[in-house]
């Protein structure tokens, strides 16, 4: 605490925001794995388990839109703390006797967890805009990349944590332990996080929830198709394919995807170096378009490779690793652009609108992933993924560009 108090105020607030986000992300990843493993052991089918997370995604769309308004009206410190408190409540809902853990009850708990997650994420991403001067765009890019990348790496760690806690403490004990730790984090955040962080000077109106910025509207549309392109084959189709075609057991599938997410997060943190920040280059609309075009070829190449003479394991796993690297750069680049484009007064309104599009893309991808895979197979999911990324690239081509030297 003494070392924390000696840091510059902006750095101290950044560390507090990041610490909150890290703690929440660990419990979010662990909770997802706990629910999957526990209900799998009870004999639930994969589709029934997937249904448990439906409200988690749906409420993310609404929460990002309304959460941005609340952040501008109440302050980002309050929306972040509200998110932490709701996650504690969601965890406590799952500590009830096993007979009460019906599908509607668990779906309700996951709905609260989805609300909490998007309040927390919107608050964390918006806060960085206020902690870095507009003249220091390179620092802003670095801080956004670190926050975004570390969050995804920790989500993968959370998958392992959930499995370990389930083995050591059982389902109820694991959930109760996470709720206790997160309560301590919440109490510390109430005391230490800067008051009125991100509160708009003028009281925002409901119509302000919809962005009036052309750049933000374009970036939000590109984000929708970018994340729809990932989840259309990653969420349902890929795990089922690995289990049914490659014969992997649950632990192999879950462990591989957790490691993929950790690696994905590490690459996100390194995105500024990959895109040329050390040479003084900051991404703009042209960079977003080029990186999306590079990504679009990968799912198409995997789809073609699965119908070739090459070993499908080599094609799919190798393609997935390359996709993860290029997608991580795209995601980190987008996360910087939205924070850069957002207006400083009421920043959460713009960021909330953008992440609403992100959540809508995830929801669209998740729904398509199950339906298209069941009807047409993995290759069809991959072709839709390639088409979505091409749409994201086309939209990104209209984003603002740096002036030519």
Q: In degrees rounded to 5, what are phi and psi of residue 78?
A: -70, -40
Q: Is residue 124 part of a domain?
A: yes
* pLDDT number for residue 24: 86
Q: Is residue 401 part of a domain?
A: no
* pLDDT number for residue 301: 95
Cα separation values, 89 from 17, 51, 53, 85, Å:
21, 21, 17, 6
Neighbouring C-beta atoms of residue 279, cutoff 10 Å: 7
* pLDDT number for residue 405: 47
Q: Is residue 97 part of a domain?
A: yes
Q: Is residue 286 part of a domain?
A: yes
285 contacts 401 by C-beta, under 8 angstroms: yes
Average pLDDT of the chain is 83
pLDDT-derived band at 280 (thresholds 50, 70, 90) equals low
* pLDDT number for residue 304: 94
pTM value is 0.82
Q: Is residue 403 part of a domain?
A: no
pLDDT-derived band at 6 (thresholds 50, 70, 90) equals low
pLDDT at 267 over 90: yes
pLDDT-derived band at 184 (thresholds 50, 70, 90) equals very high
80 contacts 120 by C-beta, under 8 angstroms: yes
Q: Which of 286-295, 309-318, 330-339, 350-359 has the lowest mean pLDDT?
A: 350-359
Could you give the count of Cα atoms lying within 13 Å of 107 in the half-sphere of its Cβ? 11
* pLDDT number for residue 164: 83
* pLDDT number for residue 313: 92
* pLDDT number for residue 305: 93
pLDDT tens column, 332-383 = 999 899 888 887 666 767 788 888 888 889 888 888 887 888 888 899 999 9
- Domain of residue 111: give its range: 2-197+204-396
Residue 112 and residue 35: Cα distance in Å, rounded? Answer: 14
More confident residue, 70 or 279: 70
pLDDT tens column, 8-57 = 666 677 777 778 888 888 888 888 878 877 777 777 776 677 677 778 87
Sign of CA dihedral 40, 46, 49, 53: positive
Number of structural domains found in the chain? 1
Q: Is residue 85 part of a domain?
A: yes
Average pLDDT (140-150) is 83
Residue 260 and residue 315: Cα distance in Å, rounded? Answer: 16
Q: Is residue 182 part of a domain?
A: yes
CATH of the domain at 228: 1.20.1250.20
Dihedral, CA atoms, 311, 331, 358, 33, nearest 10 degrees? 60
* pLDDT number for residue 71: 72
């Amino acid at each position: 605490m003494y070392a924390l108090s000696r840091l510059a105020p902006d750095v101290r607030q950044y560390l507090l925001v990041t610490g909150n986000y890290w703690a929440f992300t660990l419990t979010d990843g662990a909770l997802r794995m706990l629910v999957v493993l526990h209900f799998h052991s009870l004999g639930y089918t994969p589709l029934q388990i997937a249904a448990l997370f439906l409200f988690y995604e749906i409420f993310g769309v609404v929460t990002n839109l309304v959460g941005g308004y609340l952040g501008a009206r109440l302050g980002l410190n309050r929306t972040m703390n509200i998110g932490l408190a709701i996650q504690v409540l969601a965890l406590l809902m799952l500590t009830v006797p096993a007979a009460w853990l019906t599908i509607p009850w668990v779906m309700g708990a996951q709905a609260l967890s989805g609300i909490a997650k998007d309040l927390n994420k919107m608050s964390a991403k918006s806060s960085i805009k206020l902690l870095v001067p507009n003249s220091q765009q390179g620092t802003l890019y670095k801080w956004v990349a670190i926050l975004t990348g570390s969050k995804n790496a920790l989500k993968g760690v959370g998958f392992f944590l959930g499995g370990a806690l389930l083995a050591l403490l059982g389902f109820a004990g694991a959930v109760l332990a996470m709720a206790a730790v997160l309560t301590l984090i919440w109490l510390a955040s109430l005391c230490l996080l800067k008051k009125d962080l991100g509160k708009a000077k003028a009281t925002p109106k409901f119509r302000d929830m919809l962005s009036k910025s052309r750049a933000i509207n374009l970036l939000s549309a590109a984000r929708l198709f970018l994340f729809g392109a990932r989840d259309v084959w990653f969420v349902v189709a890929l795990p089922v394919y690995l289990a049914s075609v490659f014969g992997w057991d649950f632990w192999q599938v879950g462990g591989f995807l957790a490691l993929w997410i950790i690696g994905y997060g590490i690459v996100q943190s390194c995105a500024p170096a990959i895109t040329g920040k050390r040479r003084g280059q900051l991404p703009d609309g042209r960079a977003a378009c080029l990186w999306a075009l590079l990504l679009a070829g990968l799912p198409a190449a995997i789809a073609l490779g699965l119908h070739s003479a090459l070993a499908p394991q080599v094609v799919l796993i190798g393609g997935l690793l390359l996709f993860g690297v290029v997608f991580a750069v795209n995601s980190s680049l987008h996360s910087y652009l939205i924070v850069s484009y957002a207006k400083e007064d009421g920043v959460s309104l713009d960021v909330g609108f953008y992440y609403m599009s992100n959540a809508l893309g995830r929801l669209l991808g998740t729904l398509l992933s199950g339906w298209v895979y069941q009807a047409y197979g993995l290759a069809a999911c991959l072709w839709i993924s390639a088409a979505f990324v091409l749409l994201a690239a086309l939209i990104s081509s209209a984003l603002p560009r740096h002036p030519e030297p």
